[in-house]
Structure 1
Amino acid sequence: MRERVERVARSYGSVALLGAVGVPIGVAVGAVDAVFGRTLLAIGDLRATHPALIVCLPAAGALIAWAYLRLGKNTGRGMGLVFDVGHGHEDAIPLRLVPLIMGGTWLTHLCGGSAGREGVAVQIGATLSHWVGQHLPLKNPGNTFLVVGMAAGFAGLFGTPLAATLFALEVLVAGRLEYRALLPSLVAALAASTTSGALGLAKFEVALSAPLTLDAGTLACLLVLGVAFGVVGGGFAWLLGGAKRILGARLENPIVRIVSVGAAVAVCLLALGQGRYAGLGTNLIAASFAEEGSGVLAWDWLLKLALTIATLAAGFQGGEVTPLFAIGATLGATLARPLGMDAGLVAALGYAAVFGSATNTLLAPILIGGEVFGFAYLPAFFLVCSVAYLFNQDKSIYALQERMGSHVSVRK
């Protein structure tokens, strides 16, 4: 009996220790996220007032590629390295990744590259947390600390700790949750979100006002939207992977590749609305939720998709998620008109569902919808994100994401 009590006490003690460790990790990652995020927003504002900076995109790309070749060693793989560590194929993430990814992303956005920011936050969180885990006297932690850091990085940047926790738990292997990392990930996500918010990094959220009645007509429209968002998200992932392979084969020198493609992207950005499709795409997101989406052009989602793929395939730094939010929101605002639905509601559904289908995740986008737009609309987010997940053809922007057999069989 005594041995059983001691065994239970040790088990609960380990759980409590992991939960407690999540606090300092979350605070540290949230603080770094706040510095990175606020600087990035300031850089975006500077570029918006000086669109001529876009002409410097090829030069910025050359500097980024040179820095990674000269200083980066294995860090140039970015999220690929994070996934390899998560799957046990690599042992460590060099700390040099943090300044390289931050500086490269700031340069990308200063000169108008159509890229995101979540890749930076997730990589920073994973790097710092994994380093901490390697220095703690814990037996067989596995990829727990990597998952904890990913959750903290995502939550600190977007202010959505619940979605961040589920994203980190489900993204490494589609169709499987890393439950052993649940408590420390949730604690770290909450700590990171609170810390970044206290340090002035504002959370994006929209209060929807459209009534939601799940009658037959609305359900039919939601099913159609789920299919559309799933196809677009899966298509984005497929096209991005293909573009990286083709450019890598035809332009093997990374400096030549990023300069030549960067020049073409810069020309397109200036020709298409003087930078309308540059940077994160927050301007497009704002337009999607203003005045029934009247400021959204029918082709906004497609041009943002194409320019984001070109930017990231060339080798510029940042991420995909915020542009995916913009693509989904503008696509939703566009589809709302022929369906006769509220533009804000459909934009919100697209915001969450395109992100979910492109990352091959289900639970995270549903909670993104709740945390950003209100949990009163959770049934709609659940339905649309579920359908999008089923129609993304098992594609993911993360090439090293593993799949469970059951996940694939659902699609057959």
Structure 2
Amino acid sequence: MKRIYNSLEQFSITVNLLKWTLYVIPVSLTVGSLVALFLWLLEAATRLRWQYEWLLLLLPLAGVVIYLLYTYLGKNSDAGNNLVMEEIHQPGAGVPARMAPLVLISTVITHLFGGSAGREGTAVQMGGSVANLFAKWFKLNEQDLRIMLMTGVAAGFGAVFGTPLTGAVFALEVLAIGIIRYEALIPCLMAALFADITTSAWGIHHTHYHIGFIGSNKPDLRFINVDLLLLVKVIATGVAFGLASYLFAESMHTIKNYANRFIRIKWLIPVLGGLLIIALCYILGTTDYIGLGVTGKEPDSVSILSAFHAGGATNWSWLWKLLFTTITLAMGFKGGEVTPLFFIGATLGNALAIWLGAPVDLFAALGFIAVFAGATNTPLACTLMGIELFGSGNALYFAVACFTAYYFSGHSGIYSAQRLMVSKVQGDALQKENTLKQIRDKRIAKRKIDRSK
């Protein structure tokens, strides 16, 4: 009888995997193709902006166009990644199909005219929109709908960065701080892998990164197979990366809140944001901090790639990119936060490495993934990203930097719909199951009460 039960259990598992394979394939093919189109358009927009620098002067007008698109066509699409996460937590009105074309068009507009934004948000929103559409066609129940939306997130993230393993774990880890939703593990992995293959099949190539640093073969103690001094430096910089993550997230929320509170004519918010970006470019005398920032127009431009070399960034490049990006995204322009976080982390790692006398390429890579880990509260996914992008030779340092940044970013993050399930502070259970937005609102309310006393 026991053998029969075990056989039935394995049969049921097989049927379930086949079911999800059939569900995931059309989602992955569609999302992978949309991501390929998006990356191609993004590259074309970047090159056009480099060729015609005067396009930056039209950024305020581009902001108005984006505002009008979302006002008259967006429905609830303006909530972006947070809408996708809310629908996974508690399915409701659904992720509208219009979100995919809207976010694709508006992100390309943002990049064409000089906004500082990324790619992940667009890919995740397209993935969620496509997944929700197929879920409707397949008439899925509420539980399967949640899993389907998670596969859309995994497909979009895995395809846009060429990191399918990271994409799968990111979709599981990003929803709630402290827990991972394993019921969607295999569907998310399949979705991320198939979407990445589809994007590559369209001829899209991802940026290749290289770290020349190889760990010391002479450990400090014969029973400790690691360079202890270097490890201490990694921990110290991990703290700095976590604080940078916190600063980024809080700056985003603060700028957005103040803009909406004090600017009553809403289409003026992106106009003012565009004017600020233009003014900053002229004050600094450079356009290095607009756009994606993976590569620069000139050989001596500050970029993510240049940050892997000594002299490839200034001491304050990370802060300027943080300011440009938070203004862009908080004031109505569209795009992701992750690629700018890569830039912030890599340039901060560059500056810290020089100050600490550490390997520049290694610490740029650590910042690349760790600032992202702190801002999204996804240390496992970011550790895997380090391995997928930079190789496994420094996996221990990747993990230490990401987990340290995760803790020191506090109960903050770029996704306000992310839920706190396990507090980072031992014994603090008062805020459990609250979203980051609710936690932040309570924190602000408490400060107001304290000031009034």
Tell me, yes or no, whether TM beats 0.5. yes
| 1:390/1:411 contact within 8 Å kept | no
Of 172, 175, 180, the residue aligned with 2:178 is: 175
| Structure-1 residue corresponding to 2:439 | none
2:280 corresponds to 1:268: yes
| Structure-2 residue corresponding to 1:312 | 329
| Structure-2 residue corresponding to 1:373 | 390
User: Quick one: distance in 2 between partners of 1:272 and 1:201?
Assistant: 34
Tell me which amino acid in the other structure corresponds to 1:221: K
Tell me which amino acid in the other structure corresponds to 1:287: S
| Structure-2 residue corresponding to 1:288 | 307
Higher relative contact order (CA closer than 8 Å, sequence separation 6+): 1
Q: How does 1:99-114 map to 2 (within 5 A)?
A: 99-114=101-116
Query: Which ranges in structure 2 are unaligned for 5 or more consecutive residues?
Result: 217-225, 296-302, 430-453
User: Quick one: distance in 1 between partners of 2:61 and 2:365?
Assistant: 36
Deviation at 1:46, TM superposition (A): 1.3
| 1:293/1:333 contact within 8 Å kept | yes
* Partner SS state of residue 143, structure 1: helix
| Structure-2 residue corresponding to 1:212 | 215
| Structure-1 residue corresponding to 2:99 | 97
* Partner SS state of residue 138, structure 2: coil
Task: Render the CA deviation track for 1:145-196: whole Å, top value 9, x for unaligned.
Answer: 1110000001111100011111111101111111111111101101111111
Deviation at 1:373, TM superposition (A): 0.8
Deviation at 1:6, TM superposition (A): 4.2
| 1:360/1:396 contact within 8 Å kept | yes
Of 251, 254, 259, the residue aligned with 1:239 is: 251
User: Quick one: distance in 2 between partners of 1:71 and 1:269?
Assistant: 32
Q: How does 1:11-410 map to 2 (within 5 A)?
A: 11-88=13-90, 90-139=92-141, 140-213=143-216, 214-283=226-295, 284-289=303-308, 292-409=309-426
Cα 1:180–1:91, aligned 2, differ >3 Å: closer, same or farther?
farther
* Partner SS state of residue 409, structure 1: coil
* Partner SS state of residue 261, structure 2: helix
User: Quick one: distance in 2 between partners of 1:114 and 1:398?
Assistant: 18
Q: State the identity as a percent.
A: 38
RMSD of aligned residue pairs (Cα, Å): 1.7
Deviation at 1:209, TM superposition (A): 1.4
Tell me which amino acid in the other structure corresponds to 1:347: A
Normalised to the residue count of structure 1, the TM-score between the two structures is: 0.95
Cα 1:51–1:409, aligned 2, differ >3 Å: closer, same or farther?
farther
* Partner SS state of residue 277, structure 1: coil
Tell me which amino acid in the other structure corresponds to 1:224: A
User: Quick one: distance in 2 between partners of 1:379 and 1:68?
Assistant: 44
Tell me which amino acid in the other structure corresponds to 1:309: T
How many residues get paired? 410
| 2:382/2:402 contact within 8 Å kept | yes
User: Quick one: distance in 1 between partners of 2:407 and 2:343?
Assistant: 21
User: Quick one: distance in 1 between partners of 2:187 and 2:21?
Assistant: 4
User: Quick one: distance in 1 between partners of 2:272 and 2:321?
Assistant: 19
Larger Rg: 2
